[in-house]
Amino acid sequence: MNLSDIKQEIASLINKEVMINVSGSRNKKQMYRGIINNVYSNIFTVLIEGINKSFTYSDVAIGDVKIYHV
């Protein structure tokens, strides 16, 4: 999947609830539940418990961030 496909897929999820699985350093994983509220040219934001968190499309492309539609 290339970046433009990923951007289109994430844009289709605006205002929908998603689960975000983030792989961090030292095999740490974090799971978030939120709503995708904005997409920009290099990042997208997810509203999680009243706080906007941003993620990059390239992190989705390499598998460090995984998005699941709820």
Question: Roughly how many angstroms between the first and final C-alpha of the chain, as a whole number?
Answer: 21
pTM of the model: 0.90
Domains of the chain: 3-69 (2.30.30.100)
| pLDDT of 59 | 95
Residue 55 predicted with pLDDT over 90? yes
pLDDT at 58: 95
Q: Could you tell me the two tokens for 37?
A: 């509220």
Dump pLDDT digits (tens) for 2-52. 999 999 999 999 999 999 999 988 889 999 999 999 999 999 999 999 999
Q: How far is Cα of residue 45 from the mean position of the Cα atoms in its chain?
A: 7
Question: Are 21 and 65 a contacting pair, CB within 8 Å?
Answer: yes
The 3-state DSSP class for residue 63 equals coil
According to the model, what pLDDT value does residue 26 have?
85
- The answer to whether 18 and 67 have CB atoms below 8 angstroms apart is yes
